[in-house]
Structure 1
Amino acid sequence: MRIFLFGAGYSARVFARLANKKADFIGGTTRDTTKFATLEAEGITPFLFLGSHTSQEIEDALETVTHLVISTSPAKSGDPVIGVFGDTIRRHMPKLQWIGYLSTVGVYGDHGGAWVDEGTPCHPVSVRSTERAEAEAAWQALADARRVPLAILRLSGIYGPGRNAFINLSNGTARRLNKTGQVFNRIHVDDIARALLFLGENNQGGIFNITDDEPAPPQDVVAYAAELMGIEPPEEADFETAQLTPMARSFYGENKRVSNKRIKELGFTFRYPDYGTAFAAMWRDGSWK
C-alpha cells in the first residue's frame, strides 16, 4: 500500500503507526510546518496543505498513491480536499484503489435516545454536521465517478492517549453534567485506526459506524475514571443551569444510541467494545497520558 493522509491529525497519525509496517509509503498533510519533524519521526512524509491552494509536491505524491484517507473538516464552501485536489483525484491518480473518509455520527441528528444504524436517514441538526453530510455526498459522487470504493467511517466521541477523562480529572477540567436520559457513544482511537486498516486492506466500501457497544451517560464515564484513579469525582451539575459554550451545549442537543453492526458483519472485532474495558486498560498500562 501507498497511503496518503489528508489531515495527519490525532486519529490519522494513530492509523499511520499501525499501517507503517504494511505500507511502502505514508504521506500526510498538516497546516503547520513546525509539525513536520514529529510526523517524520512517526514515519509520515509531511506536506503542507492550508486548504486553499494546490501543491506540486502533493500532486506528485498522489501519482503513486493506492489508498487515500481524508481526515479534514469541511467548510461552508465545501470539502477543502475536493475543492483543491478533486480534479487530480478524478483524473490523475492511476494507482488509486480505495478512499476512506472520516465522518461523524452527528450526521444522524437527534433521535431522542433511540437506536440508529447505517441505514438510518441523516437529519443533521448542527451546521458542522450538515457540512459533514454534504461532504460525505461529495466524496461518494467523486468515488462513483472514479469507480473506486469509498468507506465512510462515522465516528462517535473519540478518546485515547492524551484525550480522556483521566486527563480532565488530572488538570481539574472534568465536569459531570446531568441531563436526564442523555447518552453518548464513544470510540477509542486505536479502534478507529484498526477499522481503517481493516477496510483499506480489503478495499471495502460502504458506510460504517465506528463506535462502541455501550452508549452511556457522560457523568458515569467521569465517575468511573475517578474511581480507577482513587479520587472523588466532581459533583454532578444540572445541564440546564450549567455555564457552557454554545459549542459544548450543542453536543447535548443530539441524543441517540449508535449501532456498529455493519463492520462487525464483515468480521471486524473491536478491541475496546465499551468505555469500561478501555479505561481499565488505559489506567493499568499508563496509556492514558
Structure 2
Amino acid sequence: MGFLGALPARFRRERVLIVGCGDVGGRVVRELGHGRRVQVLALTSSPARVAALRAQGVRPLVGDLDRPATLARLAGLATRVLHLAPPPSQGLPDWRQDPRTRALVRALARRTAPATFVYGSTSGVYGDRQGAWVDEASPLSPQTPRAWRRADAESQVHWYGRRQGVRTTVLRIPGIYAPDRPGGTPRERLLRGTPALRPEDDVYTSHIHADDL
C-alpha cells in the first residue's frame, strides 16, 4: 500500500504540480483530467493566466522561478511534480547554471517532499554526436549555453532526489511536433512545399509527437 492508501479517503487525492504549464503541460492537464482522484496545480508567473488555468480545471499558483521568495507556498503542496520550465536565457551570473531549477528544489525541500519529480530536459545535452546513436547511458557532452544549463538542471534534480528520498526521472526531450503546434507535422510541411533535404544529404533526427510526451 502506498502512502496515500494509508490516509483517510478524503486525503487520498493525488496533487500534481506542473511547473511550466505551456503546450505540453496543457496536454498533461487534459490527460490527468480523465481521472477523478487527481488535483492539478500549475505554477504561473503571470496573473493574467490565472483565469485560463482555472477554466482548464487547474488550481493556479502565482509565483516566479526568477524570484525565489515567491515560491514558499509550494513546499509540501504536491505529491507529484512535473518540471517543464526552461532555464533563463540571459542575465545569468554563470551561464552554465540554471537558477530556476535551484530555486524550485530549494522551495520544495522546506517541507514534506513529493513522491516523484519529473524533469523535462533536452536531448541537446548529448551534443553533436555526428550521427551516432545515443541512449540513456550515453555520456553528456553539452556544447551550447542552453544545453549546459539543462545539464546543470538535471544534476540539481538528481541531487534533490538523493537528498530528499524522492524518485526522480529526467526526460531528454527531442524536437516536439504536432498538427496544432507551430510548424505542424513533417507531412504537412511537405504538402505545403517546404524545401526538404535530398536523400543523400539527409540524416537521422530525433522528434516526438507532443501527445506522446
Common fold by TM > 0.5: yes
Alpha-carbon spacing, 1:61–1:91, altered in 2? closer, same or farther (3 Å):
closer
Separation (CA, whole Å) in 1 of partners of 2:69 and 2:39: 18
Unpaired segments of 5 or more residues in structure 1? 193-289
Residue equivalent to 1:185: 206
Q: CA deviation at 1:44?
A: 1.5
Match of 1:26 among 19, 40, 49: 40
Separation (CA, whole Å) in 2 of partners of 1:43 and 1:168: 34
Residues 74-116 of structure 1 deviation map (CA, whole Å, 9 limit, x = unaligned): 2345334433333332231x15100000011111111111211
Give the aligned residue type for 1:83: R
Separation (CA, whole Å) in 1 of partners of 2:188 and 2:45: 26
Residue equivalent to 2:105: 86
Higher relative contact order (CA 8 A, sep 6+): 1
Give the aligned residue type for 2:109: R
Residue equivalent to 1:4: 17
Q: CA deviation at 1:167?
A: 6.8
Separation (CA, whole Å) in 2 of partners of 1:125 and 1:109: 6
Residue equivalent to 2:6: none
Separation (CA, whole Å) in 2 of partners of 1:168 and 1:39: 31
Structure 1 vs Structure 2 CA RMSD = 2.5
1:92-241 matches, within 5 Å, as 92=111, 94=112, 96-163=114-181, 164-165=184-185, 174-177=194-197, 180-192=201-213
SS of the residue aligned with 1:116? coil
- The answer on 1:46 being equivalent to 2:66 is no
Greater fraction helix: 1
TM-score by length of 2: 0.77
Alpha-carbon spacing, 1:161–1:83, altered in 2? closer, same or farther (3 Å):
same
Unpaired segments of 5 or more residues in structure 2? 1-13
TM-score by length of 1: 0.58
Residue equivalent to 2:77: 64
Give the fraction of aligned pairs with identical amino acids, expressed as a percent.
26
1:267-278 matches, within 5 Å, as none
Alignment: residue pair count:
189
Residues 140-169 of structure 1 deviation map (CA, whole Å, 9 limit, x = unaligned): 111111111100011111112421137767
Tell me, yes or no, if the aligned pair for 1:6 and 1:81 is still in contact at 8 Å.
no
Separation (CA, whole Å) in 2 of partners of 1:25 and 1:81: 24
Q: CA deviation at 1:64?
A: 3.0
